[in-house]
């Protein structure tokens, strides 16, 4: 489990190992990392790498993706509420919705290049 204090990760010294120790004792580090992340330091004693078990990594990655989707939905809901609140029916430019790169890609589409089967499938 990750502990955050004042916007920083908090962990005990016994979870910190040097890169030299990690390379010479990788099996031990892997075993320990199945239970809790191991923080590997560089020559300046700064944490540069984390060794963690797959289950914890997978849970973290899935939670991050869930939060990204949740944020996208919240932003979409906020935009819809903004449009609904405007009595004139505010228009959001397509460029703003797609972003610059997406808008350029949209403009580059040739409608004749899309087969009818894809449009009406």
pLDDT of the residue at 101 = 92
List, for residues 25-62, the tens digit of each pLDDT value: 999 999 999 999 999 999 998 999 999 999 999 999 99
In a domain, 120, yes or no: no
Q: How many helices (H) and strands (E) does the chain have?
A: 5, 5
Band the pLDDT of 14: cuts 50, 70, 90.
confident
- DSSP code of residue 113: G
Q: Domain check: are 104 and 64 in the same one?
A: yes
- Name the domain count of the chain: 2
What residues contact 21, with CB distance under 8 A and at least 6 apart? 29
**Same-domain check for residues 62 and 104:** yes
- Residue 51 burial (CB count, 10 A): 17
Rounded to whole angstroms, the Cα distance separating 49 from 36 reads: 14
Kindly state whether residue 115 falls inside one of the protein's structural domains.
no
Domain of residue 12 covers 3-52
CATH number at residue 44: 3.40.1620
pLDDT mean across residues, the chain: 88
Q: What is the pLDDT of residue 39?
A: 94
At residue 87, the pLDDT reads: 65
- Alpha-helix runs per DSSP H in 25-53: 26-33
* Residue-level pLDDT at 88: 73
Distances (CA, A) of 105 to 91, 94, 109, 113, 119: 21, 12, 7, 14, 18
pLDDT tens across 105-119, in order?
999 988 788 788 887
Q: Which of 52, 70, 91 is the last residue of a domain?
A: 52
* Beta-strand runs (E) in the chain: 3-5, 8-10, 16-18, 38-41, 47-51
Residue where the block lists tokens 């916007």: 7
Q: What is the mean pLDDT of residues 69-94?
A: 83
What is the longest distance spanned by two Cα atoms in the chain? 68
Reported pTM:
0.61
């Amino acid at each position: 489990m990750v502990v955050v204090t004042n916007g920083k990760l908090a962990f005990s010294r016994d979870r910190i190992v040097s890169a030299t120790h990690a390379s010479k004792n990788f099996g031990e580090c892997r075993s320990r990392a199945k239970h809790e992340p191991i923080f590997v330091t560089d020559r300046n004693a700064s944490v540069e790498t984390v060794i963690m078990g797959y289950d914890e990594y997978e849970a973290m990655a899935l939670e991050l993706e869930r939060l990204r989707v949740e944020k996208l939905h919240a932003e979409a809901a906020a935009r819809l509420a903004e449009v609904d609140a405007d009595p004139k029916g505010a228009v959001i430019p397509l460029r703003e919705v797609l972003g610059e790169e997406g808008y350029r890609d949209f403009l580059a589409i040739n409608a004749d290049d899309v087969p009818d089967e894809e449009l009406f499938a």
